Amino acid sequence: MEHLRNIFGGGDQPQESGSPLTGMRQQLEGQVNQVIDRVSGMIPGVDQYATQCKQAISGALQSFQTNVERVAGDKLSGLNLGGMMGGSQQTPPPPPSS
């Protein structure tokens, strides 16, 4: 779980506003867009597909980020950090009866 804490606010790295993954996603998206631009500039007739490709990549990366944040949030919320952070510890609810 330490790696999740490092990505989602437990590390010593400065964070951008919003999700820590937003900056990583934007950087990756920029690099992929540069490759798309390079390829579309080298092959005649391909440039018409560049915008569509960039939009598809952007949507896929955004979806990936959203899912990673959801899963990581679920994992981190399952940790009982109340005692470590000076807050009150809560007793977990009993398991549902059959």
- Comparing 56-65, 66-75, 89-98, the range with the smallest average pLDDT is 89-98
Q: Which residues are CB-neighbours of 5 under 8 A, at least 6 positions away?
A: 11, 76
Report yes or no: 79 and 1 within 8 Å, Cβ to Cβ.
yes
16-66: pLDDT as tens digits: 457 889 999 999 999 999 999 999 999 999 888 999 999 999 999 999 999
- 15-18's contacts with Cβ under 8 Å and 24+ in sequence apart are none
What confidence score (pLDDT) does residue 74 get? 86
* Residue showing tokens 């007793």: 91
What residue spans of the chain are helical by DSSP H? 2-5, 20-42, 50-77
Residues 6+ apart with CB under 8 A from 73: 8
Q: Look at residue 90 and tell me whether its pLDDT is greater than 70.
A: no
Enter the pTM of the model.
Answer: 0.60
Residue 6 has pLDDT above 60, yes or no: no
